[in-house]
Every structure is written in C-alpha cells, then in structure tokens.
Structure 1
Amino acid sequence: MDQEISFGEFFQKWMKEQNQYLTELISTAKGGNNMVAEALMKRVMEHYEHYYKVKSRWVEKDTLGILSPSWISSFEDAFLWLGGWRPTMAFHLLYSKSGLQLEGRLLDLIHGLSTGDLADLSSHQVIKIDTLQRGVVKQEKEITEKMAKYQETIADPSMVELSHMATKFKMGTSGGGGQNDGELNMVEEELKLALATKECGLKEVVKMADELRLETLKQIIGILTLTQRVHFLIAAAELHLRIHEWGLKRDSDQR
C-alpha cells in the first residue's frame, strides 16, 4: 500500500501514527509495566525502521524530491541535512531532555533517590554515549564532505562543455538550420543522461545519511534503560511533531 501513494502522503500517515505512539509512550511513562513498555518499544522502533525502508524506495524513484521535500514546512526544510535530521541532533536532544529532567528532580537525586528517567544517566552510560557521539560526528562529517565533493561535479569539464554547446546551438551561432536542430537535440540528450548520472550519485549519499540516522537512533536506544528509552522517544516525537505543526502554521500565516 505504501508503494501506491506518494511519499508525501506516506509521511502524513506516518506522522499521524507517530502522534498515536506518543500518546501511548506518555501513558507508559506514567506507570506502564515492563512488558507493556518492551512491547511498545518494539513497535515504535519498527515504526522508525518502516519509515526508512519506504524512504529508501522513494530515494530510488525520486532522489531530488526527497532532498527538496514539499510535504514539510519551509522552517523544517531550513534545518534539513541531506533530506532529514542531522544524526548528531539526537545527542543534543538526549542531553537537553536529561538536563531538563535533572532540574525538575534535583531534590530526589540529592537525597539519593533514583528517578529512572534521563536525569538518572549513569557515568557508564555517559561514557558510552560520548564515545558513540564522537563516532557519529566523524561519520556525519565524512558524508557531508562526500556530498560537497559530489556537488562540485556539477561544474566538471563535461557539464561545462555540454552547457556551452547547448547555449551555442540555442543561439544559432553554428548555423546550419535543421542540422543545427539535430545537433541541439543530441546535446540535450547527452545533457539528460549526464543529469541522470548526477542524480544516481546523490542516491548513494542520501542513503548513507539515512542509514546513519537510523543506526544512531538504535545505538542510543541500546545504551538507555527501558524507562529512559520511553522518555527519550517521547522527547523525539514531541520535538518532531510540534516543529512540523509550528512550521506549517508559520507558512500558512505568511501566505
């Protein structure tokens, strides 16, 4: 079914499901048992995995559309990194939520009471998170540099020559009438092929970025305790849903 609709329609459907999962996560955080929480964690992570599986298919079909999504707000678009969120943002989210929960439960921690949430990260967890973050920063930088190098190929000798030839024939500087039209068509066919080749290169970079996004999420989840996972995924869903909502409202207000 997901293949029969546009990615934009799939995205809207996925966001509605994320909102439903957010309600369940909040309910679980207030007092769900471990079995319920474990089952919910499994479904939420499968939901994220499904998103990237469908997105991967659409990257194959329409890489440029994924890189310039029409289904999100202009505000969200300004903060995108290769068609999605920066993997390193997950760490900023984790530490921001941890700090806020720490402030709210400082007295409990002072009295030696365990909060169980992200305010209660152990030194061992912090070390593992820091190590993971360093690795993700390195991978993110490598992908960014790969994209930058690939973007530079738009001005390589073959593209410059093709654009020159197309201009030459369009302006009729070579003369020749029908022959000129034939040569122009040939150049435009070569240009189409060149652009298609450029788009294929973009697919590889976007897929690398998405793989890092999903793997980063999985690795963070693997470091956290069950209760901490619930709180982290609540924060992730809240941020994603509210920014999308605020961005759409801003676009609507400016029309």
Structure 2
Amino acid sequence: MGSSSKNIEQVQEICYLQWMGLQSQRIPELKQLLAKRQSHGDKDNDKKLRELTEMIIGDFKDYAGKRANLAHRHRCSSNYYAPSWNTPLENALIWMGGCRPSSFFRLVYALCGSQTEIRVTQFLRNIDGYDSSGGGGGASLSDLSAEQLAKINVLHVKIIDEEEKMTKKISSLQEDAADIPIATVAYEMEHVGEPNMVVDQALDKQEEAMAALLAEADTLRVDTLAKIVEILSPVQAADFLLAGKKLHLSMHEWGTMRDRRRHDRVVDSEGDARGEEVK
C-alpha cells in the first residue's frame, strides 16, 4: 500500500513538472509576440496574441483536468493540499491545492500601478523614443480604461465571495476528521497500525470530498483567469499572463534557494558545534 501511494505521488509530481515545463515554454512565446507588437505597432499581431492567450487558458484547463482525474481515480487528493514537490514557502501560501483566484486581481493591480509609475518616470526624464500617447491604446496594463477597471472590480468582489464559500466547505471537511467514526475508533484502538475497514471507508470518503473540492477550486481558478483575459486587450492579456507565469516559476525558485540556504546554515552550525566539542 505504501509503495502504491508513493507511485501515485510520483505520477502526480510528473504531471506537475510537465505543467511547469509548459509554463516555461510559453514565456518566450509571449515575450516574442509582445516585443513584435511593441516594436512594429502591428495590430494584426493582436490576433496571434489572442490565440496564444486562449491556448494558455486551455493549457491550464487541461492541467486542472489531469489533476482532477489523478485525485479521483486513485483517491489520493490529499497530496495536492500540501504537495511534496512544492517548497515549504509555496505550501505556506497554498489555498485549496493552488493559488487563490483573487490573487490574479492583485497581480493586475500591482502591474497596473508599477507600469504607470515607470511611464511617469520615463516621461519626466524625457527618454528619447518614449511615446507618451501609449502606443495606440491598450499597450499595457497601465492603459486600463475606467470601464475595464469597473468590470475587474465587480468580478473581484464576486470571486472573493466564491472563495469564502469554498473555504467554509473545506473547514467543514476538516472538522469532520474529528467526528464519528474516526474519533471513536482512534480512542478505542490500542494499535493504530492495525487495519480497520471503518476507518479506511471514512478516510476514502474524506479523500473523495477533498478531490471534489480540488476540482471545484481549479475550475474557479481557470474561469477567473479566462474572465480577466476577456476584459483585457490582447496585449494586456499577454502581459498579464506573462507576469503570472514568471511569478509562479519565481516563487518555486525562491523557495528552493531559501531551503538551500537554510540547509547550508544548519550544516555550518552543526560543524561549528562539533568543532567546539573537539576543543
């Protein structure tokens, strides 16, 4: 059973690594089309940008489908709530097996503010070649119109409400772990390692419920991303998706580097301690 669980976890990790690899692949594709749009101002390129953003949403939807299939088929959804292939930093920020859909809006607002600040700085410094007209409109997230912002804000409020509903569901599910029959069996058993059909059935039911919630959360993530992209222009959408992918990959790398530094500090401190003992 332990070997089987490990194999399932490996399949889930491979699925995740393939997804991360695909995200890395999409970054240069987005950069290339955005650079071409910026340098040539060719609006015919917008069609290619829109096709690529739709493809990226499709990638996300396919990945969510694979996760749901692996979670349901093997009754092993709990791996997704604290993945071993994630760094501790990533798992500390995880919500329902992934990022909060509302974090997509925070990314839009952050990019909008940072790009506006850059444009103002460029204008004040009078950098040669800077186009204060904004390149024909919709050139970046700093060009969000009042109508776009209003739509994004309305959607943001709606998604936060959906998140709260799902958080209540997972809270209820977590409370069920201390309910009958699991609590009663745990109290009465002398050796937890003994097989117990009642416990297995209860935990299988728990895994199934968690798998359903994971699929629901992934659907909300995909739908939220798709609706934000619909509000944005092709260039803005590509810029937004590029930032999201870079953030996701960067968080994994930052978490890995922090773990490495933490490990090195522990090794160094143990070495110092052994040196003191020798003295």
The alignment's TM-score, normalised by the length of structure 1, stands at 0.86
Corresponding residue number in structure 2 for 1:135: 158
Corresponding residue number in structure 1 for 2:81: 67
Corresponding residue number in structure 2 for 1:244: 252
> 5 Å matches for 1:87-106?
87-106=101-120
Cα distance in 1 for residues equivalent to 2:132 and 2:28 = 31
Cα distance in 2 for residues equivalent to 1:247 and 1:40 = 29
AA matched with 1:50: D
AA matched with 1:93: L
CA displacement at 1:111 relative to structure 2: 5.5
Conserved 8 A contact 2:138-2:233: no
1:86-113 deviation line (CA, Å, top 9, x unaligned): 1110000110011111111134999554
CA displacement at 1:9 relative to structure 2: 1.3
Corresponding residue number in structure 2 for 1:13: 18
Cα distance in 2 for residues equivalent to 1:51 and 1:252 = 29
Corresponding residue number in structure 1 for 2:3: none
Corresponding residue number in structure 2 for 1:151: 174
Q: How many residues align?
A: 236
AA matched with 1:58: L
Conserved 8 A contact 2:80-2:97: yes
AA matched with 2:101: P
Cα distance in 2 for residues equivalent to 1:155 and 1:139 = 26
Cα distance in 1 for residues equivalent to 2:183 and 2:25 = 51
Unaligned runs of 5+ in 1: 172-183
Q: Would you say 1:166 and 2:189 are equivalent positions?
A: yes
Cα distance in 1 for residues equivalent to 2:19 and 2:181 = 41
For residue 6 of structure 1, give the secondary structure of its aligned residue in structure 2.
Answer: helix
AA matched with 1:42: E
Unaligned runs of 5+ in 2: 1-7, 38-44, 125-129, 264-279
Identity of aligned residues (%): 28
The alignment's TM-score, normalised by the length of structure 2, stands at 0.79
Corresponding residue number in structure 1 for 2:239: 231
Q: Would you say 1:57 and 2:69 are equivalent positions?
A: yes
Cα distance in 2 for residues equivalent to 1:53 and 1:71 = 19
AA matched with 1:36: K
Conserved 8 A contact 1:38-1:226: yes
